[in-house]
Amino acid sequence: MRAMAGAAPSEPRLRADARRNSEQIRSAAIGAFQGQGLTVPLEKVAQAAGVSKATIFNRFGGRIGLIDAVIEEVVARELFAVIEHTRSVGAVERIAYYLTAIRDLQYRQPAFNDVLLQTYPHSRQLMEICRVGSEANEEFIAAARASGALRPEFTAGDLHALVLDNALALKHGTRPPRDDYDRRTMYLLDGIRGRSAASGGR
Amino acid sequence: MRAMAGAAPSEPRLRADARRNSEQIRSAAIGAFQGQGLTVPLEKVAQAAGVSKATIFNRFGGRIGLIDAVIEEVVARELFAVIEHTRSVGAVERIAYYLTAIRDLQYRQPAFNDVLLQTYPHSRQLMEICRVGSEANEEFIAAARASGALRPEFTAGDLHALVLDNALALKHGTRPPRDDYDRRTMYLLDGIRGRSAASGGR
DNA sequence: TCGTAATTTGACTCGCTTGGTCAGTTTACC
DNA sequence: GGTAAACTGACCAAGCGAGTCAAATTACGA
């Protein structure tokens, strides 16, 4: 590693071309990560940015640096919004809303699954996102159990496993049509609901 | 490929050492496949059999030939037994029994997941096993729906996806403790049951 | 308009693992 | 013992993307 450290380089005055390239790489990375996940070959990102792969190393120090520089826009923002919004949902439907929203994110954003699966454990940012996510899980599970919306034997670990399994399925398998996916989300919800809770429709 | 074709070589009179090695390789393969799945390095199988890797190629022509020679003992027998036995279960509990048994097989036999995932599509035997399995799926789904044990919108494709996702999770993830796994099987069952059907306990 | 240092880049190396091959040696069998 | 079958150690192939570097290019200040 030469001199890189964190996000958008700004410490030393960059030359104009370097600044321009940084920006192009950033936005190419956001697009590529969102479309194909965090494991997309850097070569492709470079191509989309109209620069050489080596330039990515010059500007960001490598994949980890690049991820740290854009992960906020790629997934963190959206995830935190989901968590935040979930808190405003009524206690009884909250856990169903949360799981549905998470699964939606997983379906739409391959990068989100890479975060969950901790594909790059060397990125602080990624680990931090995971941590926050785990805490949200526990928060919502506890609340849901208290409200009777969830069957009592269901643990935070169960939720975690549920989501991780889905991440693996989406990552290594063929993604199903959206309506099939959503229907299966319903089965899931019905399987974890407490007896007392009323279902949405069914 | 030199001269191999199918299962246990028997066409031309083999020399005594060759016959002995074939047998050792077969049983080593059964052990290795059951323990670590069909993707276990041939080197390891050879080591367990006390021969060189090249001997496996001499005797079986390669991984596919070896798989074809032992897949019966490794998974087919047990799978067919499950299917057969499922037919003798009462209509209402049948689908639950089937899914539970399949998931048990998936947990205990990594090789079974390799079959499901069609890791080696060049093996006729593997494909045949898949075909038979798919037919069983449809048979049981149809019966379950007819008996009201299954929610009506649940399709054979849903069952297939359910099982495949689990195969991917077990293959690429960390396998959970058995009791967690079984509990999650319960959630699953509760999520796909028809309204009328009574659950086992809960 | 230079001089210089920052920047870019094409072409490379590297790692890493397993399947598969082959020449040369050992072994079974008649 | 002679011969062909069988075994084996050592080797190659392949894929594939990360990361590196010397050489060329470019921005920028004087």
- Top residue of B114, B163, B187 to mutate, by most chain A CBs within 10 Å, is B187
Q: How far apart are CA B51 and CA B43, in angstroms?
A: 9
Which ipTM value was assigned to this complex?
A: 0.89
User: What is the predicted pLDDT for the residue at B195?
Assistant: 79
Nearest-by-Cβ selection for B192 from A153, A154, A187: A187
What is the chain B residue with the closest CA to A181? B158
A94 and A176 part of one domain: yes
Residue B198 lies in a domain: no
The angle subtended at Cα A160 by Cα A73 and Cα A155, nearest 5°, is 140
Phi and psi angles of residue B140, each rounded to the nearest 5 degrees, phi first: -70, -35
- Residue B55, domain extent: 16-66
Residue B157: closest CA among B146, B147, B142, B143: B142
Fill in the DSSP letter of residue B150: B
A174 and A92 part of one domain: yes
In strand C, the nucleotides that come within 7 Å of a protein beta carbon are 6-11, 17-23, 27-29
Per-position pLDDT tens, chain B of length 202: 333 444 444 466 889 999 999 999 999 999 999 999 999 999 999 999 999 999 999 999 999 999 999 999 999 999 999 999 999 999 999 999 999 999 999 999 999 999 999 999 999 999 999 999 999 999 999 999 999 999 999 999 999 999 999 999 999 999 999 999 999 999 999 999 987 655 544 4
CB contact under 8 A, B173 and A183: no
A103 and A48 part of one domain: no
B89 and B186 part of one domain: yes
pLDDT digits (tens, 9 = 90+) for B63-78: 999 999 999 999 999 9
Q: Kindly give the residue spans of alpha helices, DSSP state H, lying in chain A.
A: 16-36, 42-49, 53-60, 63-71, 77-87, 91-108, 110-116, 124-147, 156-172, 178-192
**Could you tell me the pLDDT band of residue A195, with boundaries at 50, 70 and 90?**
confident
pLDDT digits (tens, 9 = 90+) for A137-166: 999 999 999 999 999 999 999 999 999 999
Residue A174 lies in a domain: yes
Least confident of A14-28, A116-130, A187-201, B114-128: A187-201
Q: What are the chain A neighbours of B172 within 8 Å (beta carbons)?
A: 168, 171-172
Strand-pairing partners, residue A22, are: none
Q: What are the chain B neighbours of A107 within 8 Å (beta carbons)?
A: none
Residue A113: closest CA among A68, A73, A67, A169: A169
Q: What is the CATH number of the domain that holds B121?
A: 1.10.357
Statement: residue A7 has pLDDT above 80: no
Query: What is the total count of domains within chain B?
Result: 2
B67 CB and strand C closer than 7 A: no
pLDDT digits (tens, 9 = 90+) for A39-72: 999 999 999 999 999 999 999 999 999 999 999 9
User: What is the predicted pLDDT for the residue at A11?
Assistant: 59
**In the predicted model, what is the mean pLDDT of residues A88-116?**
96
A58 and A90 part of one domain: no
B52 and B128 part of one domain: no
User: What is the predicted pLDDT for the residue at B13?
Assistant: 83
Q: Which of residues 51-110 of A touch strand D (CB under 7 A)?
A: 53-54, 57, 62-63
Closest Cα of chain B to A58: distance in Å? 34
Residue B197 lies in a domain: no
